Structure formats: structure tokens, C-alpha cells
Structure 1
Amino acid sequence: MFTIFNEELAEVARRFRDDHREFAAGGWGADRLEAHRVANLRSAVEYTRANSPFYRRHLAHVDPAAITSSTGAAWTSVPFTTKDDLRSARYDILSRPLSKAWIFYETTGTTGASTPCPRDNVDSLANNTVLTVHYDTIFRHHGDDQVIGVSGPTELHAFGDTFGDVCRNLGLAVAKMWPHSPMVGFDRAVAVLRELGVTGLFCTPGMALTLAKRVRAAGLDPRRDLRVRVLMLTGELASPELLANIGELWGARAYNALYASQEASVLGAAGEDGGLYTAPLINFYEVVDPTTGDPVAPAGGVRTGELVVTALYRGAKPLVRYRTGDLVRLTPGDAAASLPADRLEVLGRTRDELVVGGRRISGYDLENLLLGHVRGYLDYQVVIDTGADGADRLVLKLEAADDEPPRVDPAIRDHCRDVLGVEVGVDHDRFGSITSTGAMVSWKAARVVDNRSEVDAETAAARALASARS
């Protein structure tokens, strides 16, 4: 309600709402969208160069007037912004002083120095409007008696504020619960789910699995004893097969609900059909070769490579040609889809790619391949070894419920051999807290034990975090 105290912000909020509703209804054609992009790419350069000490130097030689196309040389010659730039520039990258923000967040800093991520009211209005319009396509189908649990990673993360605000916009009651907090804990979190009759839950995939374990450890069944019917999962890699298993465990529809970062805010959000859609009114998306930085040409209409984004709104920390470090597949929009936007598949960080059997594969595709043949597991991890013959070997380790072992299709071995050219085994184990660290460190550090190489810094950080949690 803060906007009623500021007429200018109230007008900004109405404009964002109306534009996004019109876009979602199919009211923006290609020409209008390109005009919007070009105008705001120019504005991004002008605004950041005028207000950010970092961008004043970084974009000093860029001529905004020369930017007449979102794909022309004037734009693609603009220098990238990298994660190293954010770490070194810190507060100099801001385009508004910290005192003009409404809230301060920062990255987790588990594998490097934290970077400041304050947000002003325009940041929150722009991003939360996207989520409100996207998520309305989902929650409108679940009645008027919904109670939504929000379970995020830390107090300095945008998770709770963002989803709480979006649920308020949609008229949904919210219970913020932090199971890793010593004041809450998992037992109390499970009790809250039961006592309040929580019907939807925002959390990471790892948290959804951990909560399912705790519910079962209490002698309960999430499908029978809880009312959760919608799982809005974010913060970690989430392949379709992992989502399907989590949904089955809970008796709920599991969505890959959000692709975002503390640094760049909302980059993609789910629609009712399960697609993860771009937000083209607030971001400009490019896909580049991770090695060369050159634009990637579409193959069958699909672009695969590292995602680069530019904010199309003027907040506290808009980023220009920011290299996310994430591999994506970007597919053109479909007229029959929930939203008239391009679809994103987030394949994992560029450094999370693996070479198995001499073939390079993303974390997303490896997870989807292996988990497509199993259901009913409470957790998983992948172990990679080199056999006596020098060939790679994979073992998929599954954590089972005591009373309900996972279902494994024997075809997993032949299928994985056909795709990767390696032998695959299936085993059982219990993993403790290590598999819950993906959102704080990386998918690979949480999910993969690669015995072919030395322990890297991220794996060491994941192990330390897991030890602290246990």
C-alpha cells in the first residue's frame, strides 16, 4: 500500500500492471515489443552512465543514439558486465544511492565475497508485477481458500519479501517459515504445514525433498496428511523429471516457478501449463557462446548458450549486458502457450557442465536423463568414477522411504548407455544435508560426487555448509 503515499509511484505501478496484463492477453505485437526494447536499451545506457560510477567508466565510449536495433552492431558491441565486475565494483555499480532503496539484499557469499543487491520501489514494482501476472494463471484454478507457505534460504534474500508481496497481490494468505532457522526448525515447519492447512508452498526443490523426508519421519504421508497441492520451486536446477517425482511425493503439481538471481532479479516465471517464460517487458535476452561471447545462431529456432540480460527498467541496480554464467535453451513463443513469451530451459551454470564418456552434458540434461526412469525417491545423488578399463561409470544413488522403495525402470541402463556411452548403476544411500546446499552453492556441488577430479572450492563449501546444518 506504500504507493498511496506517493502519486508518482502509484502511476508507475498502474502502468506496469496494465502493460503486463495487456502483454499476457496477446496485445503486444512484434513491432511494439522491438520499439520498447530499443527505447529502453538506449535508456539503460544513458541512465547507468549518468548515475553509476562503474558504468560511467564502463560505457564511456557507447553512443546511445546509435542503438537503433536490439540485434545491430551498435548494441552487440556494448561491453559485457560480469560477475567479477559486480564483485570488484560493489556499491559503485549502483545507479541510485543506498539511501534511496527500500530494502537491502546481498548474494549468499558461500563461494566468494557477497555482492550488495539493494532494491528500490521501481525494482520491486517491475519484478513483482511480472510474477503476479504469470502466477495468476496458476493460482486462479485452486479456489479462494488458499494458504501459501514461503520457505526461503536467508533473511538477506529477496525470497520472502517477493513471494509474500506477490501472494498479497493475488489475494492469497501467506505463512513465512524458515526451516533452517534455529527459531523454527523442521519439526515446527511440518507442524505449520498441518495446522494451517497450507495449500501451496514456495521453496527450493531440495527443501521440498527435505520436508517430504521430515513429514515421512513423523509417520505422515504428504499426499494423505497435508493439503499442499501446488509446489512453486525455485533456486536450484529443476528438470522436468525431478519436478514429476517431487509432485508425486506430495500429491501436488510441481512447477519450476522462477528463474532469477539476487543480482539480476526476475528473469523467467512459470505459467499454468508448466512452461518457464521470459519477461520481455522488463528484460532483454541474448544468448552467447560461453567461450567467445559471440551471439548464438538459432538451430531449429532454438538458441542454446550462456544467457546475457539487460534490465529495461530504471531501478537501483540495473545491469547492462550482464553475463549470468547460466546455460539456457531459449525457444520462441507458442500461440497455444499460457503466456505469449519465449520459453526458457535453464540448463545449469556454465561451470556445472560435465564431460561423461567423452560427451559434454549439462546438469539439467543429465538429471533429466537419469531421473526419467525412477520415481518414489526422497533424494538423489550421482557418483562418477573411472573404471579399471579407463571408462567412465555412473552410479545413481537414491534415498528411499523406509516403507516404500523407489521404482526403477530397468531400461535406465540401456537408455543411458545409448545417450552417454557409459555404464550406469543404481544404488541406495542416505545423504544428510549435502543435497540441500544446491541453492547456496551449486547443483554440481550438491548432487555430483566426481571421483575423477580433486575436490574443488564449491564442493568444499557445500560440505562445510552441510556440516554446519547437520
Structure 2
Amino acid sequence: MYWDESVESLSRSELDALQLHRLRHMVERVSNYSFYHKKFADNHISASLINSLKDIRKLPFTTKQDLRDHYPYGFLCVPKEQLVRLHVSSGTSGQATAIFYSRGDVEHWAELMARCIYMTGARAGDTFQNLTGYGLFTGGLGFHYGAERLGLLTIPAGAGNSKRQIQLMKDFGTNVMHIIPSYALRLQDIMKEAGIHPRRDLKLRIAYLGAEPYSQEVRRRIEEFYGVRAYNSYGLSEMNGPGVAFECPHQLGMHIWEDSYFAEIIDPVTLEPVPEGTIGELVLTTLHREAMPLIRYRTKDLTRFMPGDCPCGRAHRRIDRMQGRSDDMFIIKGVNIFPIQVEQVLMNIPEVGNNYVIVLQRENNIDTMIVRVEVNEKIFIEDMRHLQRIQKKITHDLRSELLLTPQVELVEPHSLPKSEGKAVRLVDQRSL
């Protein structure tokens, strides 16, 4: 049941005590270095202020902009000679950010990932196929090292080249895979076209999903088609990468590994803690990081703490699936909308395909929202009345969910742009 029983079986009081000890030590460490040295000195902050876990609120937040402003080496807490790994963000929304790792960081990351994978039932002797990107993207390497640490036969397939992915699955009996949800949906379409039936032709039984927000309805589609149990995974490069939180077999939220991370959920506007069970922004503090520890890092990811105890027996707190990012929200006619709300509606309609896009436009100073949706090919070609009924149903259901009426356009299968990386679900053309 446990990969590391010494920490996975800790009681709540034992976890709290461990977190407080590591938090005080971490505050003392970062006080002597770069960014935090000045920040703490200016605000008269020291480890002596941390006498309970609630005292973490006395510490300042760290933001993505802080990382950008002190790029590349401003957050280092070890000499450069101790660094063995670098990951860099894409920088698509601004200055890139750099994340550094010591040898100890890489080893601990592999241990966390092995803990996650073991928890779901994967064991030495299984064949693991990693269908996500390597290189500067942390997702591929994180799962790779965790799977190898556990003793799985690991196939570093990387992203894309769908026909080869399928052939690898068939040739080597892949039964565990890591895949971005939107690519799992695309690969599903490719398998259908090729006459591949995973439940009959492949040996898949476990899938790990992450890297982008997705709905429960998408998970249901993936599980039904591939014949797998699909587990939610959460991580971000600033915290190492994947392995921050993971689902156990009960699939009742993702356990945050609280021996390595201290989690808070705050109101992104007031910055105050929200009541348990309320959705807010996840804030994380590293407790076991050598090269580049971060204090109260604002992730921008929206989730909630799951109330109650997990039947698996682990006391590590659970968070819900990500509801999106606070900076993904867009406003149309005064209504706050997240793309995942649209997905939840669409994926509940059987005739809807696996791809959609939301387009925002502005005409005569009026914002409009267009939802383009791929539908079943047979319906699109042969049954115009059915097509009209589907269009009306989608419009009705979206209006009920969003409290406004978007323009719905039904399009042929495979006609919308596709990506082998993270899906682009929102195209905002209002400033063009």
C-alpha cells in the first residue's frame, strides 16, 4: 500500500509537527540568501516568528513576477556548483522563469513520483509509456525518473507521432501510460480511424492525466474508451514538477505530499484563507527543496481542500481537481467564465466529439462568445434535424451553466486545430 511508509502513514498530528519543523528550518535557510534575505530583512521576518503553522501568514507571498524580476539566479539558495538540473518556462506570457535543482532535489523528486505511481497499483514488471514532452518541460522527466525508481520498464516515447505510439503499445504490452488529457482524446480519434479497440487490442489498465485543466466528463471518456483507471496528477515546475499531489485508488481528490509541501487556499482578491471546501487559489511552500525553495508561492491554480478523511488511511490533505487558473477567467457581458465550465457541458453530450474551441470577438464595442464544437460525422452529414436539435441543446445547456447565451457553431470532425501539447481552448480576438 505504501511506497514510503515512514511518511505516508503519519497521523495528522505527526504531519503537523513535521511541517512546522521543516517550515521553521526553511525560513531560516532562505533568510540567508538573495531574494528572501532582503525581503525578510525589510519586513523584520525570521524563523523565530513561526511558532505554529498558522504563523505562515506572517510571511510574504512569492509570485511569478518575482521569479521573472530576479531571473535567472536570484532565488538560488546553494552555490551554482551544486546545481545539476535546469528547467525553464516557455515565457509565452512574459519573461521566462528558471527553476534549478540540486542532486538531492532530483533524487527527492524521483522518490515522490515513485510514491505516486506505486499508490495507484503500478509495480515492477509493468510497462510504462510516457507520451508527454521531455526537455525543458518537467512532466516527462518527472514521471520517467519515478517510473524507473519504482522498477517499471519505461518507454520515453515523448509527445506526438501517434501511429508510433500505438505501435509501441502493441509491441511492448504497455499497461501504464502518462498522457495529456487533450492528446488522449485526439489519440482516441486516431485509434478509431485505424480500427484499434484498446480494450481488445491493447493491455492498458492505468493512465496518469495532468498538465492542463480538464473535467470529470473528459476523464470518463478516457476511461471508457481505453479501459483504464485514469488518475489525476498535479504539479508545477516551480515546485519541482509533477508529484505535488496525486490520487489514490479511491479517486476522492489528490493527496498533497505534506512532508514536502505546505498548502494554503486563499481568496485571490482578498488574499485571506477560504473555508474548507471553498474554491480558491492554491498557495504552496516547499519544505524539502535545496537549490531553489519557494515561500508561499501563488500558483494561480483554482481548487479546494476536500473535507473529511480518505478511506485509504493517508492523513495527507486532499485537493480537488483543478478548476482552471485565476488568470484563465474571462468576462463576457459582466459574467465571469472559465473554459472548463464549457467543457463540462459539452462532454456530457454523446454526439459531441473530442475537440472544441471558444472564440471571443468584439463587434461595434459588443463582446461575443462563439463556441465551435466538433460533432459525430454521420450526424453532421446525414441528419440535419438531429444536428439542429444538438445545437439547440448545447445552447440551452451552456446558457443554464454560464447565465448567458453564446453562439454555438457545429463543425465537422477533425476540422478544428489540434495540438500534441496542451490544448488551446480559448482564442481571444477582442484586441485584434
Q: What TM-score comes out, normalization by structure 2 length?
A: 0.84
Structure-2 change in CA distance of 1:393 and 1:325 (3 Å) = closer
Query: Which of residues 62, 66, 82 is equivalent to 1:100?
Result: 82
Q: In structure 2, do the counterparts of structure 1 residues 28 and 128 end up closer, same or farther at CA, with 3 Å as the change threshold?
A: farther
Deviation, 1:403, is 10
**Contact residue 147 and residue 198 of structure 1 kept, 8 A:** yes
Contact 2:131-2:179 at 8 Å conserved across structures: yes
1:332 alignment counterpart: 307
SS in 2 for 1:104: strand
SS of 2:373 mapped into structure 1: strand
CA offsets, 1:355-404, max 9 Å, x none?
3564323333442233233467232323456899x795553502647799
- Equivalent runs, 1:374-393 vs 2, <5 Å: 374=350, 377-383=353-359
Q: Which residue of the other structure, out of 279, 296, 305, is the alignment partner of 1:321?
A: 296
The one of 228, 237, 257 aligned to 2:213: 237
Query: Among 121, 124, 132, which residue is 1:152 paired with?
Result: 132
Query: 2:63 — aligned with what?
Result: 82
Match of 2:48 in 1: 65
- 8 Å CA contact 1:47–1:314 kept in 2: the answer is no
Q: Could you say what secondary structure the match of 1:352 adopts?
A: coil
- The one-letter code sitting in structure 2 at the alignment partner of 1:314 is R
Shift, 1:287, TM fit: 1.7
> CA-to-partner distance for each residue in 1:17-36, whole Å, 9 max, x for gaps?
98x524433x323x322222
Residue of structure 1 equivalent to 2:425: 447
Unaligned runs of 5+ in 1: 1-16, 456-470
Displacement of 1:251 after TM fit? Answer: 2.8
Deviations 1:411-444 (A, max 9, x none): 6544433332233646134355555443xxxx6x
Q: Which residue of 1 aligns with 2:348?
A: 372
Aligned letter for 1:76?
Answer: R
Aligned to 2:201: 225
- CA 1:231 to 1:286, structure 2 compared with 1: closer, same or farther past 3 Å? same
Q: Report what 2:247 is aligned to.
A: 270
Map 1:290-301 → 2, pairs under 5 A: 290-292=268-270, 294-298=271-275, 301=276
Contact 2:78–2:291 (8 Å) recurs in 1: yes
In structure 1, how many angstroms separate the alpha carbons of the residues matched to 2:158 and 2:289? 32
Q: Indicate whether 1:398 and 2:374 are aligned.
A: yes
**C-alpha contact (below 8 Å) 2:391/2:409 kept by paired residues:** no
Could you tell me how far 1:276 is from its partner in structure 2?
Answer: 1.9
Aligned to 1:251: 227
- Give the direction of change, closer, same or farther, for the CA distance of 1:163–1:79 in structure 2 (3 Å limit): same
Do structure 1's residue 165 and structure 2's residue 138 form an aligned pair? Answer: no
Say whether residues 1:419 and 2:419 are aligned partners: no
1:306 maps to amino acid = E
Which residue of 4, 13, 16 corresponds with 1:34?
16
Residues 1:119 and 2:81 are matched in the alignment: no
* Alpha-carbon contact 1:272-1:338 (below 8 Å) kept: no
The aligned length equals 416
Residues 297, 402 of structure 1: alpha-carbon distance in 2 compared, 3 angstrom cutoff = same
Distance 1:194 1:367, change over 3 A: same
**Which AA in structure 1 matches 2:165?**
A
- The whole-number CA distance in structure 1 between the counterparts of 2:352 and 2:152 is 30
Q: What are structure 2's unaligned runs of at least 5 residues?
A: none
Contact 2:183 2:421 in 1 (8 A): no
Secondary structure of the equivalent of 2:184?
A: helix
Q: Which amino acid aligns with 2:298?
A: R
Cα shift at 1:310? 0.6
Question: Identity percentage over the alignment?
Answer: 25
Q: Name which of 257, 261, 285 aligns with 2:263.
A: 285
Q: Distance in 2 between matches of 1:366 and 1:71?
A: 37
